[in-house]
Structure 1
């Protein structure tokens, strides 16, 4: 044991700063929030233990909690498939070996770098204002655009478009997966007179399934955590008529606008459980449609 410790002490020494930071900045706050979720705490006064009251109120009496869940689920259900489909389509175009592919990859990836920033959210709000660029372009062809951000029927769609616009990261992962598919399979399909649609579903999708699954899990988690766009565009309130009341926006307001830190901690843990549940479902269903190279025999 002494020799083992002496032989590995250098490694432990290098890991120590990360380990201390992980315990103090990650595990510590996580455990603190779990405790606070069972208390009534407003930052000013010490936390007071109330047991499951926060969770009971959340699931039985809080209408805005249910509205936030509805808006968030709708956003995830629409934006994630749309983003993945668009990213895969662009990746397939780039996989054809077009000129200056490096430039296109950089340009397409740029929105993913900037997409979560406050500056882009403000820009998006200016684009979709009634007097913004989008409606100005529509007027040039004789169409009077709606109040995109003030109409509950359209406001959520502006954030869906923003999410799809940030397709660069999954696109690069799809492109790498497409490059790994053996070309002789496509050549054999061409000899057998298989059309592009049949080739896509018989070769591309099955061999790309692990990459699709990886992107699906990552983008689903990111969609549940979306915050900046909804917060900036709605003015931090979820307006109009709570149509942009994302779960994270509601959590933020409870914690920092109303100082209900105990209730906000309970909301955070429910969000964690929701994300974990959807991720577990994705992993469970993957055995029916995701097949890896090592499984083929």
Structure 2
């Protein structure tokens, strides 16, 4: 007891300044998460008291064909969009890492799309670009190619959202740039003496030394991609169409919770999403031991 009093006496100032953060942690995160976990085991429509249902919501999910479609669409979006975005971001970062004129201007311009993130305005713009009378079809018409309503065609709707994901490459690009700045110039100079070309320098020097940055960007973008909502909601008009081709997991969760008032089911979906992201992130961490190299 005396040790506890002594500890509190020495550290009360620090905990006092931590109070806003602790309030946010418990009031805005821990308690709502606990409530969500409880609701995932109940039937709850937001108008009547929750009724305990055990694992009914979780078993219903596994038999829900629309839930299965949402899983497939989301996984396709993550596994196609994230690698393409990171490849594009790294490519632009390599170009911007050179000593060209107006480099600060170019860095700012390329970062701008990421400032809007998942904004409604950008999603609406994307809907217009890939619509029947959109700019994409206007450009294609100049080459004699007949366009289509890209966002209303099941075979192409998801790819328009993947392109949007790739286009918003600014945040990982800036992080890649910071990583490239840390690569010692002496290594490039030594490799030139040995006759190594640009491609070999990239594979043997640049890429291995920035793998910690690649690892960080990969984890962050995977988490962000699984939580994508606004683009699919706006582009599909909230339906996830056509034929559920843009039915992201978060969009279906929203439909169940706030469209059908099945908040218990939606809570179960949210926890399944958390588990899915955690497993995938853990796999990335485990495999990182084989491909991430840290400078000593």
Same fold (TM over 0.5): yes
The aligned residue for residue 65 of structure 1 is 67
Shift of the alpha carbon at 1:115? 2.8
Shift of the alpha carbon at 1:6? 2.5
Deviates more, 1:4-13 or 1:208-217: 4-13
CA–CA distance in 2 between the matches of 1:252 and 1:57? 17
Q: Deviations over 1:88-143 (max 9, x none)?
A: 00000011111111111111111111131111101110111010111111112211
Q: 2:211, 2:291 within 8 Å by CA — same for their partners in 1?
A: yes
Q: 2:131, 2:148 within 8 Å by CA — same for their partners in 1?
A: no
Alignment size in residue pairs: 293
The aligned residue for residue 83 of structure 1 is 85
User: What TM-score does the superposition give when structure 2 sets the normalisation length?
Assistant: 0.97
Shift of the alpha carbon at 1:7? 2.8
The aligned residue for residue 142 of structure 2 is 140
SS at match of 2:155: helix
CA–CA distance in 1 between the matches of 2:280 and 2:81? 16
Runs of 5+ unmatched residues, structure 2: none
Q: Deviations over 1:19-46 (max 9, x none)?
A: 1221111101000000000000000111
Q: Which of 120, 126, 129 is the matching residue for 2:122?
A: 120
The aligned residue for residue 28 of structure 2 is 25
Q: Deviations over 1:181-240 (max 9, x none)?
A: 001111111111112221111111110111100100001111111110000000111010
For 1:179-258, list aligned pairs within 5 A.
Answer: 179-258=181-260
Q: 2:130, 2:137 within 8 Å by CA — same for their partners in 1?
A: yes
For 1:33-44, list aligned pairs within 5 A.
Answer: 33-44=36-47
Pair 1:99 & 2:101 matched: yes
CA–CA distance in 1 between the matches of 2:191 and 2:147? 46
Q: 2:40, 2:264 within 8 Å by CA — same for their partners in 1?
A: yes
Q: After TM superposition, which residue ranges in structure 1, 4 or more long, deviate above 3 angstroms?
A: 1-4
CA RMSD of aligned residues (A): 0.9
The aligned residue for residue 48 of structure 2 is 45
CA–CA distance in 1 between the matches of 2:263 and 2:89? 38
The aligned residue for residue 54 of structure 1 is 57
The aligned residue for residue 170 of structure 1 is 172
CA–CA distance in 2 between the matches of 1:69 and 1:3? 53
Runs of 5+ unmatched residues, structure 1: none
CA–CA distance in 1 between the matches of 2:6 and 2:65? 61
Q: Deviations over 1:52-88 (max 9, x none)?
A: 01111111x2000100000000010100000000000
Q: 2:120, 2:230 within 8 Å by CA — same for their partners in 1?
A: yes
